[in-house]
Amino acid sequence: MRPTAARPRRTARLTALAALATALAVAPALTACGGGSGSDPDTVRVSFKQSTDNSVKVMDAYLADVKKQFEKENAGKKVELVPIKAPDAEYYTKLQQMLRSPKTAPDLVYEDTFLINSDITSGYLKPLDPYLAKWKDWDAFIDTAKAAARGQDGKTYGVPDGTDTRGLWFNKEIFAKAGLPADWQPKDWDDVLAAARAVRKKVPGVTPLNIYTGKPAGEAATMQTFEMLLYGTDDGRSDPLYDRASKKWIAGSQGFKDALAFVRTVFEEKLGPDVSAALDPNLATVVRGEMLPEGKLAIALDGSWLPQDWLEGSGHEWPGWSKELGLAPMPTQHGQAPGKVSMSGGWTWAIPAKAANPDLAFDFIRTLQTKANAQKWYVANSGIAVREDVARDPSYIEAQPGIKFFTDLVAATHYRPAYPAYPKVSTAIQEAMEGVTTGDMSVEEAARGYDEALAEATDDQVVRK
pLDDT tens for 279-334 read: 999 999 999 999 999 999 999 999 999 998 898 877 789 999 999 999 999 999 99
Determine the residue type at 137. D
139-145 mean pLDDT = 89
pLDDT at residue 23 greater than cutoff 60: no
CB contact at 8 A, 267 and 207: no
Among 59-63, 143-147, 348-352, 404-408, the range scoring the smallest mean pLDDT is 143-147
**Residues 173-194: tens digit of each pLDDT:** 999 999 999 999 999 999 999 9
Q: Are 172 and 326 spatial neighbours (Cβ–Cβ below 8 Å)? A: yes
User: Is pLDDT above 70 for 54?
Assistant: no
CA distances from 225 to 59, 102, 167, 214, 421 (A): 25, 38, 10, 10, 20
Read off the pLDDT of residues 351-383 as tens digits, 9 standing for 90 and up.
999 999 999 999 999 999 999 999 999 888 878
Strands 297-303 and 166-171, by their bridges, are antiparallel
Of the two residues 312 and 250, the one the predictor is more confident about is: 250
Number of other residues whose CB lies within 10 A of the CB of residue 247: 12
User: Domain ranges in the chain?
Assistant: 33-164+345-408, 166-344+421-464
Round the CA-based radius of gyration of the chain to a whole number and report it: 22
**Could you give the percent of the chain with pLDDT greater than 90?**
71
Angle of the 254-268 helix axis to the 443-457 helix axis, nearest 10: 130
Predicted pLDDT of residue 139:
96
Beta bridge partners of 300: 169, 210
The whole-number average pLDDT for the span 31-60 is 74
pLDDT band of residue 92 (cuts 50, 70, 90) is: confident
Q: Would you say residue 2 has pLDDT above 50?
A: no
Residue 25 predicted with pLDDT over 60 = no
Given this model, what pLDDT does residue 55 score?
64
The amino acid at 431: E
pLDDT at residue 276 greater than cutoff 90: yes
pLDDT of residue 236: 64
Taking residue 123's Cβ as centre, other Cβ atoms within 10 Å add up to: 11
- The second-level CATH assignment, the architecture, of 33-164+345-408 is 3-Layer(aba) Sandwich (3.40)
Taking the C-alpha atoms of residue 232 and residue 162, their distance in angstroms, rounded to an integer, is 24
pLDDT at 419: 86
338: preceding bond cis by omega (within 30 degrees): yes
By the 8 A CB rule, do 346 and 406 touch? Answer: no
The yes-or-no verdict on residue 206 having pLDDT over 50 is yes
CA-based end-to-end distance of the chain:
31
Buried/exposed code over 377-393 (b: 16+ C-beta within 10 A; e: otherwise)? bbbbbbbbbbbeebbeb
Once rounded to an integer, what is the mean pLDDT over residues 261-280? 98
| Alpha carbon separation from 16 to 89, 143, 424, 428 (Å, rounded) | 12, 35, 10, 12
Fold of 166-344+421-464: D-Maltodextrin-Binding Protein; domain 2 (3.40.190)
CB 126 within 8 A of CB 152: no
Query: Which residues are CB-neighbours of 91 under 8 A, at least 6 positions away?
Result: 49, 84
What is the arithmetic mean of pLDDT over 88-117? 91
Task: Between 357 and 465, name the one with better pLDDT.
Answer: 357
Looking at per-residue pLDDT, the higher value among 178 and 403 belongs to: 178
pTM of the model: 0.77
pLDDT at position 28 is: 38
Packed helices 7-31 and 422-438: angle between N→C axes, nearest 10 degrees: 120
Q: What is the mean pLDDT of the chain?
A: 89
